[in-house]
Structure 1
């Protein structure tokens, strides 16, 4: 897909990254992963935050994370999660949606991490082994695993959420029918592994502020003139 009709035919990943980082503000208080890392910092807390963020907004998952911390006495750890009654856990994380399912995932992740030797396994396992370990936990999918690997381990992966998939398609780095794996590879290749974690968060900010699913603000976007999407869509894309 890469060619003159894609963003890669007009600018390289370093240039796009520079434009986005100079034009967009990433406030840690708006991202549940950054909230968890700032408030707790331990690897299980970050993983728990990512689990809470599944299929919901950061606003909802941040509310749920704060409630979870209150329930657990101010720190999110595997031991603390397993020590509370499951129904209390469900009630605490209800703002994130799918509370019963996410509570089971949080507990199963806590159990397996403790059985594997504690939170140190999340920091010491080689990235490929850790990805397999995370994906073996019921309720943990590719995005959850890759967000953790990218953020906490700085592994050469690119996590793809709805914003990243939409942007990758509009930038024509992938085709309109592309799925997670293809978009992840394309974005990683475009930005490079050294920028992947920050680029992921910048794309989320871009998707929230400009490259929205409906009524994208193309004419105001910092990538206007580079992005192929407005020209591809015509005047309708500007509305």
Structure 2
């Protein structure tokens, strides 16, 4: 057995998951993916929400998603997105930032989904093929594809956003210079595929509430007795 690195050498993934679940507040209204799934539920709507969340906060992307729904008559579908003009889309999703780029990505994703046979392609393609399909869409990267695969398809992947990458480094699961793929593998190995989607959301909550990029609240963190870095929060933030 290889030596378990960092926090993984102190606690198993199941116990860690339970500690996070018991300690952190997760409200569906604070996550754009959950908002899209609750309000619309169709796979393209979820994909659109993830695209809106790129390089911005959930607060901003949720505002943009509600605005997009109003523009499209109350439901986000690929057909409705293509029926709207690019300028209308840009104005609607402006709160999410990078509005022109994201509008183009939304339209290109809608076009390719329709050409591939409709939204059912997002539910029926084998996960590996679907990941390749999603990554072929300009403006869709690994995180966007993996969030969709994990949330909507329950695929064995671990999506890594800025919170998850920061936490994986601070937990000692990966080195300070590790990138997306290494962190994704380490977190998937720690939590396992069955809990990867919910664990991803818990890491976002942990990053927002305690393990912040600047001024992390190490002394108040529910994992302070297990984390390799308690008390080093300010030092770590400066290193970044």
Q: TM range, normalised to the smaller chain?
A: over 0.9
Deviations 1:136-191 (A, max 9, x none): 00000000000000000000000000000000000000000000000000000000
User: Which secondary structure does the structure 1 equivalent of 2:230 belong to?
Assistant: helix
CA 217–237 in structure 1, closer or farther in 2 if over 3 Å, else same = farther
CA RMSD of aligned residues (A): 1.5
**Structure 1 unaligned blocks of 5 or more:** none
Q: Distance in 1 between matches of 2:18 and 2:128?
A: 29
Q: Distance in 2 between matches of 1:72 and 1:158?
A: 31
Aligned to 1:189: 189
User: Which secondary structure does the structure 2 equivalent of 1:195 belong to?
Assistant: helix
User: What's the offset of the Cα at 1:195?
Assistant: 0.5
Q: Distance in 1 between matches of 2:81 and 2:49?
A: 13
Give runs of aligned pairs for residues 151-162 of structure 1, distance below 5 A.
151-162=151-162
User: What's the offset of the Cα at 1:230?
Assistant: 1.7
Matched, 1:202 2:215: no
User: What's the offset of the Cα at 1:3?
Assistant: 4.7
Deviations 1:7-52 (A, max 9, x none): 0110011011000000001100000000000000000000000000
Alignment coverage as a number of residue pairs: 236
CA 74–11 in structure 1, closer or farther in 2 if over 3 Å, else same = same
Deviations 1:177-232 (A, max 9, x none): 0000000000000000010000000000000000000111011101011000126x
After the TM superposition, list the runs of 4 or more consecutive aligned residues in structure 1 that deviate by more than 6 angstroms.
Answer: none
CA 167–112 in structure 1, closer or farther in 2 if over 3 Å, else same = same
CA 137–237 in structure 1, closer or farther in 2 if over 3 Å, else same = closer
